[in-house]
Amino acid sequence: MFTLGAGEMPESSVVIFLGSSKDKQQAQRIVSFWKENGFKVNHKLRVLSAHKVPEAVLKAVREYEESFDGIVFIAVAGRSNALGPLISGHSLSPVINCPVLSEKFNYLDLLSSLRMPSNVPCSTVLEPENAALHAVKLLALKDQRLKKKLSGYMKKVKQEIKKEDGMIALETD
């Protein structure tokens, strides 16, 4: 959700494109990560298929890039993920693929998110929480508020590992 006052430009914005409404659970995990960890990221979810309505995808990408300074796109799509490459090929902003994988296809649907055509780079991140964190890191390059929050988050992660290490060391002594 973009929550802005009149004339206010967000420093940090993410648009999560879903290939279909079936992909909503994966997208919700991204949003939940931000909320649970106190990252105030302006975001919007859209359901727009690269295969079925490519014109609508491209129109939305253009509108977001014209309206927001510093935006990251996340493509959440299952099966044949053309969404990320379509966005990347028509955008100057970073694109993260976070594919919805299926056991039905022995996870081979992942290949459509890994093998990109030339000149349409996308990062591919399998875990929605890591896709959310990757978006935060990209936005933090320009957003000092987010960079400070990210620094605190990373310190907390490191402290938790050190604590776990200490606990396991006590168990083995």
Q: Is residue 155 part of a domain?
A: no
| Number of domain units in the chain | 1
Phi, psi of 97 (to 5 degrees): -85, 135
Range in 8-12, 148-152, 168-172 with the lowest mean pLDDT: 8-12
Phi, psi of 96 (to 5 degrees): -115, 125
Q: Is residue 101 part of a domain?
A: yes
Nearest to 47 by CA among 67, 27, 70: 27
69: helix, strand or coil: coil
Q: Is residue 170 part of a domain?
A: no
pLDDT of residue 3: 47
Q: Is residue 2 part of a domain?
A: no
Cα angle: 33, vertex 37, 42; to 5 degrees? 70
We report the CATH number of the domain holding residue 56 as 3.40.50.1970
Give the model confidence (pLDDT) of 49-70 as tens digits: 999 999 999 999 999 999 888 8
Burial class of residue 163, CB neighbours in 10 A (0-12, 13-18, 19+): exposed
* Cα gap 78→99, rounded to integer Å: 6
* Cα gap 123→135, rounded to integer Å: 10
Q: Is residue 7 part of a domain?
A: no
CB 20 within 8 A of CB 81: no
Q: Is residue 169 part of a domain?
A: no
Give the model confidence (pLDDT) of 81-92 as tens digits: 899 999 999 999
* Cα gap 1→22, rounded to integer Å: 19
The two structure tokens encoding residue 116: 């990109």
Q: Is residue 165 part of a domain?
A: no
Read off the pLDDT of each residue in 27-52 and give the average, rounded to a whole number: 96
Q: Is residue 167 part of a domain?
A: no
Range in 22-26, 72-76, 80-84, 165-169 with the lowest mean pLDDT: 165-169
Whole-prediction pTM:
0.88
**Domain coverage including residue 88:** 13-144
Q: Which amino acid is at 36?
A: E
pLDDT of residue 106: 60
* Cα gap 14→112, rounded to integer Å: 22
pLDDT of residue 10: 56
Give the model confidence (pLDDT) of 82-126 as tens digits: 999 999 999 999 999 999 987 766 666 667 777 778 899 999 999
